[in-house]
């Protein structure tokens, strides 16, 4: 997630014109946290009425880190699917599916891997940052699989923050190489830069499960309060009477998301010293719990009916495979590897 708020200058599609396609993906790390909700899911929910949406749980990507213990993925996939639907993704409006259940992802990944060099992948920041711990062929090829994910549905747009834009550029570059080498099959996908609020964890770093500084969507209201009580605050505001600097405080940044008028009813009292940090955190807990309550209630109900969740994933898989098969037929034809196809 970006550490700055990004805005889109791209207009929404004209409903009289062809509806464009979006591909979005998220790794199955188990139940999601509010950073995932505010940074991605809410935006996907808003976009599902204006685009053809394919929402993929990318378990093959997760295997780059979890290859030793893949049995954990089934429950994590289920939890992510529950969060998707609880947050408002409508299976009637978008295809929610598991990446590995659409084998065309791996086929296109292989074909795309012929179109890019190892040195190019080796220079990508995502690989450079983690290669000491994940120095595998699978992790090296992660961006190529990501490009295949996008292009398999001939996506026009991919909603991301500014920090992910380079991955979309790579997908467009590989798609362009394919079109130039064989014939035009793929759209050149573009990043749909989205508004991403700054969501920090309890230690003032980016909210992440790997840092254990996150607030799970499925946390109880008491657990949410407990986590917020542990939050880092303005180091210059030690006592209640001390003047605060809300712009430096991750708790205030969450107020910007969950409070109706933080600039009017939080910031002034923080700056004057009237509002203490504990009281500020408890105000936030109340507002956050109120906002999350409907999602948590839906989530709890979905967990009671696991077969319905797996059925949603099966329907999404079938819809995704229909689109993917159509694109891959064009790919094989363009490459002249549809060996049993019509004679030219």
> Of residues 42, 209, 248, 330, which has the active-site annotation?
209
316: how many CB neighbours lie within 10 A of its CB? Answer: 25
Q: Directed axis angle between helix 306-335 and helix 73-87, to 10°?
A: 100
Helices (H), 259-305: 262-265, 267-272, 277-303
The residue assigned the tokens 């598991």 is 98
**Is residue 206 among the annotated active site residues?**
yes
Asked if 317 contacts 98 with a C-beta cutoff of 8 angstroms, the reply is yes
Asked if 86 contacts 49 with a C-beta cutoff of 8 angstroms, the reply is no
- For residue 322, the SS3 value is helix
Q: What tokens appear for 127 in the block?
A: 């690989």
Asked if 98 contacts 325 with a C-beta cutoff of 8 angstroms, the reply is no
| Burial class, 130, CB count within 10 angstroms (exposed 0-12 / middle 13-18 / buried 19+) | middle
Contacts of 38 (CB under 8 A, 6+ apart): 196, 197, 199, 257
Contacts of 228 (CB under 8 A, 6+ apart): 202, 215, 251, 281, 282, 284, 285, 288
**Is residue 209 among the annotated active site residues?**
yes
**Is residue 130 among the annotated active site residues?**
yes
Asked if 243 contacts 237 with a C-beta cutoff of 8 angstroms, the reply is yes
Q: What tokens appear for 265 in the block?
A: 């009813």
* CA-closest candidate to residue 191, choices 42, 15, 34, 43: 43
* CA-closest candidate to residue 34, choices 210, 234, 289: 289
> Of residues 157, 206, 237, 281, which has the active-site annotation?
206
Q: What tokens appear for 110 in the block?
A: 């292989």
* CA-closest candidate to residue 299, choices 309, 284, 311, 314: 309
- For residue 321, the SS3 value is helix
> Of residues 93, 130, 131, 248, which has the active-site annotation?
130
Residues catalogued as catalytic = 130, 206, 209
């Amino acid at each position: 997630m970006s550490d700055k708020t990004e805005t889109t200058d791209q207009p929404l599609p004209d409903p009289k014109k062809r509806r464009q396609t979006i591909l979005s993906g998220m790794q199955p790390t188990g139940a999601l946290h509010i950073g995932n909700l505010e940074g991605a899911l809410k935006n996907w929910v808003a976009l599902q009425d204006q685009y053809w949406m394919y929402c993929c749980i990318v378990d093959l990507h997760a295997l780059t880190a979890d290859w030793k213990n893949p049995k954990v993925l089934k429950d994590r996939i289920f939890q992510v699917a529950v969060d998707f639907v609880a947050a408002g993704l409508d299976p009637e409006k978008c295809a929610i599916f598991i990446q590995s259940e659409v084998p065309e992802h791996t086929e296109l990944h292989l074909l795309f891997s012929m179109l890019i060099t190892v040195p190019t992948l080796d220079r990508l920041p995502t690989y450079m940052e983690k290669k000491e711990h994940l120095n595998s062929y699978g992790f090296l090829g992660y961006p190529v699989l990501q490009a295949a994910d996008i292009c398999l549905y001939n996506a026009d747009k991919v909603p991301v923050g500014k920090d992910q834009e380079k991955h979309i550029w790579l997908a467009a570059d590989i798609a362009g190489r394919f079109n130039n080498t064989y014939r035009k099959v793929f759209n050149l996908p573009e990043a749909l830069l989205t508004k991403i609020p700054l969501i920090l964890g309890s230690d003032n770093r980016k909210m992440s499960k790997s840092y254990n500084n996150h607030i799970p969507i499925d946390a109880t209201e008491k657990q949410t309060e407990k986590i917020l009580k542990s939050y880092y605050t303005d180091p210059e505001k030690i006592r209640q009477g001390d003047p605060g600097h809300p712009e430096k405080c991750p708790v205030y940044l969450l107020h910007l998301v969950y409070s109706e008028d933080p600039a009017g009813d939080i910031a002034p009292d923080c700056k004057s010293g009237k509002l203490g940090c504990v009281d500020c955190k408890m105000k936030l807990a109340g507002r956050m719990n109120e906002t999350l309550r409907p999602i948590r209630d839906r989530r709890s109900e979905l967990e009671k009916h696991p077969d319905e969740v797996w059925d949603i994933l099966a329907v999404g898989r079938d819809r995704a495979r229909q689109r993917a098969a159509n694109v891959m037929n064009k790919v094989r034809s363009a490459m002249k590897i549809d060996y049993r196809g019509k004679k030219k």
